[in-house]
């Protein structure tokens, strides 16, 4: 079924035909509009996927950085010669 054809029917009727809630269908249609460039008031699925990936990479980088800081402090403390 083509999206343009779907938009001619009321959302409540379409949702009932699909067996889903009105709000669910509205969310899907809003996301489809974002993904297809018809709207710009949100984040597309591709942008959301990229944000998830980048946040994960940042979390890993911060953890690795913390590990390196602790290792550097440990080895620095071991290399201090007593007077």
**Residue 79's pLDDT is what?**
78
> 22 and 55, same structural domain?
no
Nearest one of 50, 52, 49, 8 to 29, comparing CA atoms: 8
The range of the structural domain enclosing residue 52 comes to 44-83
- Evaluate whether 18 touches 25 at the Cβ level (below 8 Å): yes
Using CA atoms, how far apart are residues 25 and 12, in angstroms rounded to an integer? 9
Number of domains in the chain: 2
Q: Are residues 33 and 3 in the same domain?
A: yes
d(CA 46, CA 16): 29
pLDDT tens, position by position, 38-83: 999 999 999 999 999 999 999 999 999 999 999 999 999 887 766 6
Which pTM was predicted? 0.65
**Per-residue DSSP letters for 4-27?**
HHHTTS-HHHHHHHHTS-HHHHHH
Same domain, 18 and 29: yes
Question: Based on the domain organization, do 28 and 48 belong to the same domain?
Answer: no
Task: Tell me, yes or no, whether 35 and 56 share the same domain.
Answer: no
- Same domain for 52 and 77, yes or no, is yes
């Amino acid at each position: 079924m083509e999206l343009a054809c779907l938009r001619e029917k009321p959302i409540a009727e379409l949702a009932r035909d699909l067996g889903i809630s009105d709000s669910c269908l509205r969310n899907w249609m809003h996301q489809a509009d974002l993904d297809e460039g018809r709207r710009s008031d949100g984040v597309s699925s591709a942008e959301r996927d990229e944000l998830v990936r980048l946040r994960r990479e940042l979390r890993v980088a911060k953890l690795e950085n913390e590990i390196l800081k602790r290792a550097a402090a440990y080895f620095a403390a071991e290399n201090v010669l007593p007077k």
